[in-house]
Amino acid sequence: MTRYALGPFFIALCIQRCYVAESIATTCDPNKCRSRDNCACMSTKPPGNLNVSDMPQFVMLTFDDAIREQNMEFYRKLLDPGRSRNRANGCNMAATFFVSAGYTDYSLVYEIHSVGSKIAIHSITSRHRDNLTYWRALDVAGWEAEFVGERDLLRDYALIPDEDVIGARAPYLESGNGSAYTMMRQNGFVYDSSLCIE
């Protein structure tokens, strides 16, 4: 029953985030933000004037938080190199795991990474569910402690090189007031998966 009660909450949260993203998109100047500069304004239209029918479909499998033995049977079946293949190119399926430290078994993170899935950051603590203003008000040093600290744990305990950990997702999709993006840029993160965009 709880699952059904929380559904409208998460839909409302995503819609709210989309409205925020839409307001951010209106401040982007397409004359200053060009693809040759590795920049693109948010849009619901295909890039490069491509037809919608010519656009490939991307399906991203992502998981948040701890990687634990309780989940591994599912992950192993889903990502089994012998049976899970992309029909378009024959490659093995992979997922991105946004890892937080609490309850994570780093030997299992190593296993998942070694079969081709991506490992990204979801913070050390993933805490303060009851006080989301914590994430909204966090400064650059706070984001660095949470994200770079988790990347250090992944390097030290799962043996994943820093350069392989290039993505991040803020807890509860609360990427704050710009401090998170400043920290990501300063610390070699390439992408963020926190915003909901149409």
Residue 17's pLDDT is 44
In this predicted structure, the answer to whether residue 35 has a pLDDT above a threshold of 60 is yes
Closest CA to 139 of 168, 108, 177: 177
- Count Cβ atoms below 10 Å from residue 184 Cβ, excluding itself: 24
Residue 195's pLDDT is 76
Residue 105's pLDDT is 97
* Of the listed ranges 31-40, 137-146, 163-172, the one predicted with least confidence: 31-40
In this predicted structure, the answer to whether residue 38 has a pLDDT above a threshold of 50 is yes
Residue with tokens 């839909």: 11
Contact 67, 95 (CB under 8 A): no
In this predicted structure, the answer to whether residue 81 has a pLDDT above a threshold of 80 is no
Which is more confidently placed, 103 or 33? 103
CA distance linking residue 47 with residue 24, whole number of Å: 19
CA distance linking residue 189 with residue 167, whole number of Å: 6
Domains, the chain? 1-43 (no CATH), 60-198 (3.20.20.370)
Contact 197, 173 (CB under 8 A): no
Residue 58's pLDDT is 75
Helices 69-79 and 106-114: crossing angle in degrees, nearest 10, is 0
What is the side-by-side strand order in the sheet with 96-100?
A: 62-64, 96-100, 118-123, 167-168, 191-192
